[in-house]
Structure 1
Amino acid sequence: MTEASQRPNLRKRSSVFADADYSFTVMLLGDSCTGKTCLLIRFKDGTFLNNNFISTVGIDYRNKLVQIDQSKVKLQIWDTAGQERFRSVTSSYYRDADALLLVFDVTSRQSFENIRSWLSQIKEHAKESVQLTIVGNKSDLSGQRKVKIEEGRQLAASYSIPYIETSAKTGHNVDLAFNDLARRLVSSFTGSKVVMERILLRVLWFTMILKIISISQRHIFLGWVEPFSTIGAILHLLGTLATILCP
């Protein structure tokens, strides 16, 4: 595909998001392998990755326009790495988030037990007005379930946080989880209609640096950076840049 043939797509994408009445930043949090990236791709593109992807390195980005009653709402959705080594990096962005989806895997007892730890970090770093939803993902794997529905509900209720179970594989409740969050954001918003996009460049540069280091195979020196050496990775990085510069 030529450069010229790609330009109309960028213009079209820009015009779509220019009509947004509201713009909010949403972050996906939770342990690694809970399906955060799959939830995001299911919501954004309506597809399931089925493990054909590389684990999130640092932070990734997508956006989507949703209709909430009479308003068009732009959701800037940040997908964060759940590994412990990235916690100090991702927590620095909590304060800029308008909403957080805290995800655990219903087939992983440990990811559920770690929800309280995540909530402690959120309390420490996020702003008081942040909207929260606890998400029990992989609900389609009923035969492998390690966390009962009622346990998830009880935990969420103890923190006065909404709870929902989803399946990125089947799409069950995925749109509902994001749209409910968007509705609550609109209902609670008291400022000007379009929110300032506060963290785009900061996170963009962090992601670019991290991935370029990976692509150049310097993971051997750094130790904790995973290899990311494909042409597809470079194209994805450029696509992320285009998305942010031409939202």
Structure 2
Amino acid sequence: MTLRIVTVGSRKSGKTYLANKLLNSDNFQTDIMKTIYQNVNGIEYKTIIQDLHRTERFEALQTNHCRGVDGVLLVFNVSDKQSFKNCSMFVQDIKEKSNAEIILIGNKWEEKREVNLDEAVEFAQLHNANYYEVEKPETQMKEIFEKLVQSIVQKKSAVE
């Protein structure tokens, strides 16, 4: 079975950086798909990951690529309130175009925090998503990705 997963989020939220850490790469190009294999319960799944990078004025176009995806890594910058507010638009568009599992990721820690933990958790719960804050992407992204794939597989198994 092939699973399709995309990274979505506002400009400068860290989507590409997190995708690079997930794939142990320093040169993951945006808008290019990478394939990795993930083992869940003894079954190997082909997983296609696409980093949807757009300039700010084309952010809405990101979600056009969400049609029929299985999973979404929705990234926002905890130091940028607007990138968090934009998550509402992304979630709405994603839900219109797919029945994807969504993981909300709070990223970036260089600046003063503008989005508090409770606010992010509440948003995630409202949209039936899991929420993670990434401080150590080298280790956390693989775990987050594995949890997303497991959720997708469980959801697909329940439907069958």
TM-score tier (shorter) = 0.7 to 0.9
CA positional deviation for 1:170:
4.4
Q: How much is the aligned-residue C-alpha RMSD, in angstroms?
A: 2.4
- Per-residue CA deviations over 1:9-46 (Å, capped at 9, x if unaligned) read xxxxxxxxxxxxx320001100011111111111111x
- Per-residue CA deviations over 1:53-96 (Å, capped at 9, x if unaligned) read 7984xx22212112223122221001001424434543322112
Matched, 1:75 2:54: no
Q: Provide the aligned length of Structure 1 versus Structure 2.
A: 158
Matched, 1:161 2:140: no
Question: Alignment partner of 1:173: what SS?
Answer: helix
Q: Give the one of 98, 108, 112 matched to 2:80.
A: 108
- Per-residue CA deviations over 1:204-239 (Å, capped at 9, x if unaligned) read xxxxxxxxxxxxxxxxxxxxxxxxxxxxxxxxxxxx
In 2, are the aligned partners of 1:30 and 1:82 still within 8 Å (CA)?
A: no
Take 1:71 and 1:123, find their aligned partners in 2: how far apart are those partners? 28
Q: Give the one of 101, 107, 110 matched to 1:137.
A: 107
CA positional deviation for 1:165:
1.2
**Match of residue 65 from structure 1:** 37
Take 1:186 and 1:176, find their aligned partners in 2: how far apart are those partners? 15
Amino acid at match of 2:12: C
In 2, are the aligned partners of 1:60 and 1:78 still within 8 Å (CA)?
A: yes
- Decide which structure has the larger Cα Rg and report it: 1
More strand by share: 2
CA positional deviation for 1:100:
1.0
- Per-residue CA deviations over 1:144-201 (Å, capped at 9, x if unaligned) read 322222211011112221111124x64242112111110011112249xxxxxxxxxx
Take 1:174 and 1:144, find their aligned partners in 2: how far apart are those partners? 23
> What TM-score does the superposition give when structure 1 sets the normalisation length?
0.57
**Match of residue 144 from structure 2:** 177
Amino acid at match of 1:61: M
Could you tell me which runs of 5 or more consecutive residues in structure 1 were left unpaired when the two chains were aligned: 1-21, 192-247
Question: Alignment partner of 2:148: what SS?
Answer: helix
Runs of 4+ in 1 over 4 A off after TM superposition: none
Q: Give the one of 40, 44, 48 matched to 2:23.
A: 44
> What TM-score does the superposition give when structure 2 sets the normalisation length?
0.85
Could you tell me which runs of 5 or more consecutive residues in structure 2 were left unpaired when the two chains were aligned: none
**Match of residue 92 from structure 2:** 120
